[in-house]
Structure 1
Amino acid sequence: MPRRRSRAACGPPRTPAGCSRGAAAVRRTSAARSSAAARLPARRRQPSVKATIERYKKANSDTTNSGTVAEVNAQHYQQESAKLRQTISSLQNSNRTLVGDAIHTMTLRDLKQLEARLEKGIAKIRARKNELLYAEVEYMQKREMDLQSDNMYLRSKVAENNERGQPSVNMMGAPSTSEYDHMAPYDSRNFLQVNIMQQPQHYSHQLQPTTLQLGYIYKQLSFLVCT
C-alpha cells in the first residue's frame, strides 16, 4: 500500500492569491510567445490557404468585370454608330429631294408638302434679301448727305478764292468758277431712286444727268486738290 505524502511534502495549500499569480504568469508567457512570432521576418510567415483562395477569387472577379465593361462599351459604340449612319442617310435623302433629284418615288401628297416647304423657305430668303437691300439704301442715303455737305464746303472755298481775286486755272477740262457757280446743285434724289420691284432697264434713263453732274464734281475736286 503506497504511502501518502504528508501535507508538508506537497507544499502549502493553494490560496486564491496563488492561483491568480499563476494565471498571470501563464498569460505573460503566451503574450511573449505571440510578440516573438510577430517579430519574425515576413518571409518566414507562410500565408494561410484561406487568404490565398480569397486573393484568387478577387483577381478572377476583377478580370471578369473588366472584360464585361469592355464588351458593354463596344456594344454601345456600335449602336451609336448605327444611329449616326441612319441619320446621315436620311439627311442625304432629304437634301436630294429638296434639289429635285429624288422625287420620282414621291406621291402627290409628298410633292405638295415639299412645295409648301420650298415656298416658305423662298419667302424667308426674299425677306432677308430685302432687309439687306434696305440697309444698303440707308447707308447710301447717309453717304449722300455726307457728300452734299462736302460739296457745300467746296463751294464755299471756291467762293472765297473768287473773292480774294485768285485766277482760276482750268485743268483737265474742268469748268471755270463762273460756270461752276451757275451749275445746278446736285440733287441726290435723282440718283437714288431705288425701287425693288422695278426692272433694271428703267435705271439707265434716270442715271444719265446725274452721271454728268458727278463727272463735273469729280473734275472740280481734282482741280482743288491740284491747287
Structure 2
Amino acid sequence: MNSVVTVRGLAHRYGRYPALERLDLEIRPGVTAVLGPNGAGKSTLLGLLSTGLTVQCGQIRLDELDSRRDTTRYRAALGFLPQTFTLPTNLTVAEFLTLTAWHRLVPRAERALAVRAALEAVDLLDRADTKISRLSGGMHRRVGIAQAIVNQPRLLVLDEPTVGLDPRHRRELRTLVRTLSTDRAVVVSTHLTEDVAAIADDVVVLDEGTLLFAGSLTELTGGGIEAADIDAAYDALTMGEVRR
C-alpha cells in the first residue's frame, strides 16, 4: 500500500535539548497510533506533522507536498485536532464549520456541501443550527473532529482524542476514527493501549526522541491484538529488552 506521508531524517531540538533524533517513517492509509512515555517526542512529531512546528532538519512529504516548501497546499490537505482546543460558543455548529472551511481554502461553491459532509460523518447533522454553547462534552469533541475533516484531508492528525471522555463516548469516537481512516492516513497520539487495540493498523513507538518501532500492530505484538499484548510489547521496547 502506498504511503501518504513520508518522513526522512526528521530531527528537532528545543535549545540544546534533542526532542527528535533523525526519524524515518512511512505513514500509510489507515490508523497509525503513536505511543511513548512523557518526553518521548510524540507531541513534537505531531506538531511537525501538523505544521504547528517548523521543520528544522529533515523532510515531511504529504503525497507530493513538502511541509516546509509547500506549506499552504500542505495545510489545505491536512486536518488536525489538538488535545485541548477551544470552540467559539457564540456560533452555531454550521457557522463554525463554514468559517473553518473558508480558512482551509475550501472553495465558496463547495463549502455548504463540505460542511454537510463533515456533520454527517460525525453524526451531528441534526445539530447544525445549535449553538456550540449548548452541546455536551462528547459533542464538542465530535465538532472538533468535524472541523478537522471539513476540507476532506489526506492526513488527519489527532492528539489524545479520547482523553476525558466517558467509556460510551470513547467507544463512539473510536468507531468514528476507524470510519474516517478508510480513505486517508490518520495519525493518533495516545497513552491508552485500549485505543490502540481498537483502532490501530500501524504503531509507532518513540522514547527520548528515538524511534524504537514502526510497523503493523501484529508485528509489534507478534500476533496479539489485545491491550494486554500491546502493553507487554510496549514495556519490552521502552525498558530496553527489545529493539526493532
Question: Scaled by the length of structure 2, what TM-score is found?
Answer: 0.16
> Which is helix-richer, 1 or 2?
1
Question: Scaled by the length of structure 1, what TM-score is found?
Answer: 0.17
Higher Rg of the two aligned structures = 1
User: Greater relative contact order: 1 or 2 (C-alpha under 8 angstroms, separation 6 or more)?
Assistant: 2
